Structure 1
């Protein structure tokens, strides 16, 4: 069984030389345009290759269509009359009118829209990114050495750890109760936005390592090239494909989680608590119970909800992947293995297996007899309240659940490779360890 929390991340070392300026050709980090390949989820790059092929074919279709139309207009044979009443004597260019009529069918109409989008999406993406950047520059509170310096230090340390050539802009915006953070870019500039409700978690009396993990996750998107202009351009159409587009997005999120874990492994379970229950109740989230439900909550409908609607891995699947670093995060099928037996039947079980109210009350009474004093009153931790004498938040989050027997499922002890493909057997297996980058 692995120990919790994991050891702190490696100390930040200043680079021996000034990194070169970022360009379109050399990538966001000093590790090149593809970044560190070892840390990526194994599904990410193959699916990106599919997206590139799909986009290139769509671009070729757009160019051919445009050439046919322009040629027909120039020679005067591609007219509304020739399209509506084609004849056997029409040339190739006017015969294209038959394709136009065919394109009016629902299925082909969708394809025509895709082809049309290909012709304009390069400028649409550029304008959208520019407007988005301008929006947050005007309404966000910018982190700096004098404004939210603790958060800005987290950004700077993660950027240096990942080998980024320049530090991203970082902004705090009002969250209105929403826990979120995201990354995007414009040109060669990189931006991270953190909602205020999430940023508050970084205080000393809260869970600063959870915020460090989240910030490293977002910078991981930058370091992996997920938000670069050309990555978005060549994967945009892939996102429109049902199931495949969602899967590609989930693979990127697992990669970003790998970055977060590489930089701040001790913040992984805290992040699950915050994302699952918010900035106050996070302390009372038992992350073993969350991770175990990734395996026990099965069934057709849970998988369909992931395949068709999940741009991010479900929280339970992410918790399982962050706890068991011996294998990459699950993409299609629920992950295997639960460390503890749950007191309640899985949610997808037929209702006849559910406990009656009397049985539920009996289980509560039994748990209360075992529950330590510090585990009562599970309504969160709040700033300004003295919690002296209580366990640290992380100790509460990774404690063995009450009334749950240990199963035979065992996680080999770490340290682990940063791509979550087994234990770290040599230093070069860690892409950010000294000497690891030279063996890509």
Structure 2
């Protein structure tokens, strides 16, 4: 794996790093409204489901559902053990470049505890924020880390990691909030815009942010061949096309070029 010189101070020094941003300042417009709508729909769905389980199955369905919920919580430790036993945990002596970026980004947000980070093998450009047994975790695929590091700019990986840390900071990874967002996709898409905004503020480098999102589109092999000016022009077209936003209806994430447009400052409606 390629390596870049860390641009962050060692973890031992991050305790002295003062928070530079408040992630709450970057919440995408409309999030409060859609969070309320999602919460109401979730509560209504839960109420109707309970009525069905009690009435249509004479309470048997409710018992089965409660057992399933109990098993879910009991299996959390197993899921954590599986992750710890199959992925590589990032630390001061394991991918220290990545660990320094993680610690520094967390400190810039004012996070009291740095979430754990794991790198796992997968042929996709992806990263995720997960909460297992109350433990906040950042998941990074090997292809994502490799692709980011081959750009020779630590800020590209910083954008990816800061985006996932923002999900944790803002509570998006909580059990109830995450399930509402998965079911009510407008909220999920706004969450992504919000975390892009937080990450862009942390990185403070438009070019690096653009590269991080371009990496998601084409991967590390073709990224060096991407014409940034042409991509910017395409993003302008996407941002001005009303059908682009409408086409996201079934997606949990905004179109990548709509995300690219937003971090590059192209006028658009979220």
Q: TM-score, normalised by structure 1?
A: 0.50
Unaligned runs of 5+ in 2: 1-6
Counterpart CA distance in 1 for 2:229 and 2:189 is 22
CA contact (8 A) 2:128 2:138 kept: yes
CA contact (8 A) 1:306 1:313 kept: yes
- What SS is found at the alignment partner of 1:279? coil
Alignment of 1:424-439 (within 5 A): none
Q: Does 2:247 match 1:305?
A: yes
Instruction: Specify which of 196, 201, 209 is matched with residue 262 of structure 1.
Output: 201
Q: Hey, what does 1:193 align to over in structure 2?
A: 139
1:133 to 76, 80, 83: 80
Report the CA distance between 1:217 and its aligned residue: 0.8
Deviations 1:59-99 (A, max 9, x none): 333455566579x88xxxxxxxxxxxxxxxxxxxxxxxxxx
Q: How does 1:28-39 map to 2 (within 5 A)?
A: 36-39=23-26
For 1:132 and 1:220, locate their aligned partners in 2 and report how far apart those are by CA, in whole Å: 23
State how far apart, in whole Å, the 2-side matches of 1:139 and 1:229 are. 23
Distance of aligned partners of 1:124 and 1:223 in 2 relative to their CA distance in 1, 3 Å threshold: farther
Confirm whether residue 171 of structure 1 aligns to residue 112 of structure 2: no
Alpha carbons 2:17, 2:108 under 8 Å: kept: no
1:320 match: 261
Native 8 Å contact 1:181 1:194 kept in 2 = yes
Does residue 223 (structure 1) correspond to residue 169 (structure 2)? The answer is yes
What's the offset of the Cα at 1:126?
3.8
Q: Look up the match of 1:44.
A: 31
SS in 1 for 2:247: helix
Deviation at 1:226, TM superposition (A): 0.7
SS at the partner of 1:280?
A: coil
Shift of 1:158: 0.9
Q: How does 1:57-72 map to 2 (within 5 A)?
A: 57-64=44-51
CA distance in 2, matches of 1:205, 1:47: 36
TM-align CA RMSD: 3.6
Q: Deviations over 1:101-145 (max 9, x none)?
A: xxxxxxxxxxxx9x9998677547646755543332111011111
Helix, strand or coil at the partner of 1:147: coil
**Long gaps (5+) in structure 1:** 1-7, 17-28, 74-112, 332-440
Aligned partner of 1:287 in structure 2 is 228
Does the aligned pair in 2 maintain the 1:207–1:270 contact within 8 Å? no
Higher RCO (CA-CA < 8 Å; seq separation 6+): 2
Distance 1:299 1:231 in 2: 30
String of CA shifts for 1:196-255, please: whole Å, max 9, x gaps: 11212454872321111111111111111111123235x1xx644xxxx23221111111
Distance 1:281 1:203, change over 3 A: same
Structure (1 or 2) with the greater helix fraction: 2
Q: Secondary structure at the match of 2:130?
A: strand
What are the superposed Cα offsets for residues 266-300 of structure 1, whole Å, 9 maximum, x if unpaired?
22122123122211332332334223323424767
Aligned to 1:56: 43
- Work out the number of aligned pairs and report it: 255
2:154 equivalent among 208, 230, 243:
208
Deviation of 1:257 after TM superposition, in Å, equals 0.4
> Aligned-pair distance for 1:53?
1.4
TM-score by length of 2: 0.78
Distance in structure 1 (CA, Å) of the matches to 2:136 and 2:46:
27
User: Are the equivalent residues in 2 in contact too, given 1:290–1:319 (CA < 8 A)?
Assistant: no
Distance 1:292 1:188 in 2: 43
How much does 1:261 deviate? 0.6
Report the 3-state secondary structure (helix = DSSP H, G, I; strand = E; otherwise coil) of the residue aligned with 2:138: strand
